[in-house]
Structure 1
């Protein structure tokens, strides 16, 4: 007896195999897309983490330099009775003790300010001249031969406050060496107010453009 193969069964089996193949290809395509998105997320996270690590490292350097500048704050009697700090909006000007190359003591002006989302630091040459000190103090642009240094990028704003040791509170300082200070939400310190020896601390709050909250550093003032 001769048995004939059921052709319909063969066709059905071939059809099922083709569907399975197409389904497998579709699944592999979905897995590939998900895998690519996952890889892209990993790369983005790694890039963000690297940027955060770099920002933290740079912040530590900035805060260490700020602490050094503030600890070497010049006394008012060394700078013709002038306040050793000037704070106006996003600008911090520090008159600090410094030395010439031969070891002779002098005074140096240091400025921290924002420029196109960059936190800049500029340091004047060391001087013993009140006239030169005043010129460095009020100048708007850094000397071309002594350019400023970019410390941090992607900065939205900075906020500076002073700690009054006697009153046990933080004060928003606006000690402007130039024109009248802008009005702030908090009562500012008058620009004409004499430097207070009770100011013992300075806080610098830095807000990055990609962060919701600020990072604050508190440093001591004076030796």
Structure 2
């Protein structure tokens, strides 16, 4: 008779096999990668929104200042020429100076220029005589002018002027021709008592920036 062999089941819990550990590590790695990508996308989106809001705020400040300067532009007969000048260097506006109550009104020449991608607004000191005004309009900025940087990363500023009856133009010859026509019309008796009309009644500004896919355009009334 063969002896009866009895097997006893070992007590305690069974451990993980190497294959199970590898599968668990692989799953954790996939979850970590997905979580990192999601967090990275959220961070990038937040940064993009912050940059966009910052750019919009800078654009709003720049255009608002241009709108104010255009609204305060003087008439052409006060400057002996065009109060608005556009050339390859930028935009120039002759405007009234926000003086102190009780003082005689004075004028101010402001210029918007782009240098190394930075838009700078230059402003002359208060001008009280016609000779000072002509010098400020012809000459460059000196140490008496104030300068305020308004926006960085700008490729170019293009300005168009609305001149009747030509329409939108970038040529100062059209402006001078309109001024000559307006001067000649003053010799007509029926129009002699009327003030000299503005040659430039509107401005359209187009700004190209590195952060923009296409330029941003704004239009302003002159002297309104």
TM range (shorter): 0.7 to 0.9
Normalised by the length of structure 2, the TM-score is 0.77
In structure 1, the residue matched to 2:191 is none
Contact 1:73 1:94 in 2 (8 A): yes
Q: CA deviation at 1:193?
A: 4.3
Structure label with greater radius of gyration: 2
1:109 CA displacement: 0.2
Q: Note if contact 1:113-1:119 (Cα within 8 Å) is conserved in structure 2.
A: yes
Aligned-pair CA distance for 1:52 = 1.0
Q: Secondary structure at the match of 1:105?
A: coil
Residues of 1 paired with 2:38 and 2:223: CA distance?
52
1:161 maps to which residue? 160
Residue in 2 that maps onto 1:218: 219
Distance 1:40 1:146, change over 3 A: farther
User: 5+ residue gaps in structure 2?
Assistant: 183-197
User: Aligned with 1:218: secondary structure?
Assistant: strand
Residues matched between the structures, number: 200
- Measure, in 1, the Cα distance between the counterparts of 2:89 and 2:52: 23
- Given candidates 162, 167, 170, the residue that maps to 2:168 is 170
Distance 1:158 1:166 in 2: 24
* Alpha-carbon shift at residue 130 of structure 1 (Å): 2.7
Q: What CA RMSD, in Å, does the superposition of the two structures yield over aligned residues?
A: 2.7
**TM-score, normalised via structure 1 length:** 0.77
Alignment of 1:1-223 (within 5 A): 1-3=5-7, 17-79=17-79, 81-101=80-100, 102-140=102-140, 142-167=141-166, 169-171=167-169, 173-175=170-172, 189=173, 193=177, 195=179, 197-223=198-224
Kept after mapping to 2: 8 A contact 1:86/1:174: no
Question: Where does the alignment leave 5 or more consecutive residues of structure 1 unmatched?
Answer: 6-12, 176-188
